Amino acid sequence: MSYEGRIVYLCENGHRYMQDCYDANKKCPFCKAKSIWSHSIDDTNDEAHGTISEEDWDNFILHREKSEVCECCGHETIIAPAVYRVPSPDEVREIECWWDHNTLRWRKCTDTDEE
Protein backbone atom coordinates (compact mmCIF):
# COMPACT_ATOMS: atom_id res chain seq x y z
CA MET A 1 0.00 0.00 0.00
CA SER A 2 1.34 3.44 -0.84
CA TYR A 3 1.24 6.52 1.36
CA GLU A 4 -1.70 8.86 0.86
CA GLY A 5 -1.99 12.17 2.62
CA ARG A 6 -2.26 15.91 2.71
CA ILE A 7 -0.03 18.62 4.06
CA VAL A 8 -1.25 21.75 5.82
CA TYR A 9 1.03 24.74 5.31
CA LEU A 10 1.38 28.21 6.77
CA CYS A 11 3.11 30.72 4.52
CA GLU A 12 5.35 33.61 5.54
CA ASN A 13 2.25 35.82 5.73
CA GLY A 14 0.33 33.41 7.97
CA HIS A 15 -2.10 32.07 5.37
CA ARG A 16 -3.16 28.46 5.88
CA TYR A 17 -3.59 26.15 2.91
CA MET A 18 -3.63 22.42 2.22
CA GLN A 19 -2.19 20.39 -0.65
CA ASP A 20 -1.86 16.76 -1.61
CA CYS A 21 1.36 15.26 -0.26
CA TYR A 22 2.63 14.67 -3.80
CA ASP A 23 2.01 18.23 -5.00
CA ALA A 24 5.38 19.83 -5.72
CA ASN A 25 4.08 23.43 -5.54
CA LYS A 26 4.38 24.54 -1.94
CA LYS A 27 3.75 28.24 -2.55
CA CYS A 28 0.75 29.93 -0.98
CA PRO A 29 -2.21 30.06 -3.40
CA PHE A 30 -3.29 33.40 -1.89
CA CYS A 31 -0.06 35.44 -1.99
CA LYS A 32 2.55 33.12 -3.61
CA ALA A 33 4.82 33.35 -0.53
CA LYS A 34 6.88 30.34 0.50
CA SER A 35 5.73 28.06 3.29
CA ILE A 36 7.36 28.37 6.70
CA TRP A 37 5.48 25.58 8.52
CA SER A 38 3.91 22.29 7.52
CA HIS A 39 1.96 19.48 9.14
CA SER A 40 1.21 16.10 7.56
CA ILE A 41 -2.14 14.33 7.62
CA ASP A 42 -1.90 10.60 6.88
CA ASP A 43 -4.89 9.35 4.85
CA THR A 44 -3.40 5.94 4.01
CA ASN A 45 -5.92 3.94 6.08
CA ASP A 46 -8.74 6.51 5.86
CA GLU A 47 -8.00 7.66 9.41
CA ALA A 48 -6.88 11.22 8.59
CA HIS A 49 -4.20 10.79 11.27
CA GLY A 50 -2.87 14.20 12.27
CA THR A 51 -5.99 16.23 11.49
CA ILE A 52 -6.39 19.53 13.32
CA SER A 53 -10.03 20.61 13.66
CA GLU A 54 -11.27 24.01 12.52
CA GLU A 55 -12.22 24.69 16.14
CA ASP A 56 -8.63 24.07 17.23
CA TRP A 57 -7.25 26.20 14.38
CA ASP A 58 -9.25 29.11 15.83
CA ASN A 59 -6.80 29.15 18.76
CA PHE A 60 -4.02 30.26 16.39
CA ILE A 61 -5.88 32.86 14.37
CA LEU A 62 -4.48 36.39 14.38
CA HIS A 63 -6.84 37.97 11.82
CA ARG A 64 -10.11 36.51 10.60
CA GLU A 65 -10.89 36.02 6.93
CA LYS A 66 -12.51 39.03 5.23
CA SER A 67 -15.09 38.56 2.51
CA GLU A 68 -17.58 40.51 0.48
CA VAL A 69 -21.01 39.44 -0.70
CA CYS A 70 -22.27 40.57 -4.10
CA GLU A 71 -25.54 42.48 -3.71
CA CYS A 72 -26.81 41.21 -7.07
CA CYS A 73 -26.24 37.47 -6.83
CA GLY A 74 -25.23 36.81 -3.22
CA HIS A 75 -21.88 35.27 -4.23
CA GLU A 76 -19.28 35.56 -1.46
CA THR A 77 -15.69 36.41 -2.39
CA ILE A 78 -12.73 36.16 -0.03
CA ILE A 79 -10.84 39.44 -0.20
CA ALA A 80 -8.32 38.65 2.54
CA PRO A 81 -7.60 35.13 3.85
CA ALA A 82 -7.31 34.48 7.57
CA VAL A 83 -3.89 34.91 9.17
CA TYR A 84 -2.56 32.39 11.68
CA ARG A 85 0.40 32.14 14.00
CA VAL A 86 2.60 29.07 13.84
CA PRO A 87 1.65 26.55 16.56
CA SER A 88 4.42 25.06 18.66
CA PRO A 89 5.19 21.33 18.38
CA ASP A 90 3.67 20.81 21.84
CA GLU A 91 0.46 22.61 20.83
CA VAL A 92 0.14 20.44 17.74
CA ARG A 93 0.66 17.24 19.73
CA GLU A 94 -2.17 18.23 22.07
CA ILE A 95 -4.75 18.91 19.34
CA GLU A 96 -4.02 16.62 16.39
CA CYS A 97 -6.47 13.75 16.02
CA TRP A 98 -7.47 10.78 13.88
CA TRP A 99 -10.67 8.98 12.85
CA ASP A 100 -11.19 5.80 14.86
CA HIS A 101 -13.14 3.35 12.67
CA ASN A 102 -13.83 1.10 15.67
CA THR A 103 -15.55 3.75 17.78
CA LEU A 104 -16.63 5.97 14.85
CA ARG A 105 -15.34 9.12 16.46
CA TRP A 106 -12.43 11.53 16.29
CA ARG A 107 -9.73 10.76 18.84
CA LYS A 108 -6.82 12.87 19.95
CA CYS A 109 -3.47 11.37 18.96
CA THR A 110 -2.46 11.66 22.62
CA ASP A 111 -5.38 9.42 23.75
CA THR A 112 -4.11 6.33 25.51
CA ASP A 113 -7.42 4.73 26.52
CA GLU A 114 -8.54 1.67 24.62
CA GLU A 115 -12.23 1.15 24.03
Ranges of each domain in the chain? 5-108
Residue 13 has pLDDT above 90, yes or no: yes
pLDDT tens by residue, 36-76 = 999 999 998 888 888 999 999 999 999 999 999 999 999 99
pLDDT tens column, 89-115 = 999 988 888 888 887 778 887 776 554
pLDDT confidence of residue 115: 47
Give 35-76 as a DSSP string: EEEEEEEE-TTS--BTB--HHHHGGGEEE--EEEE-TTT--E
Instruction: Specify the pTM.
Output: 0.83
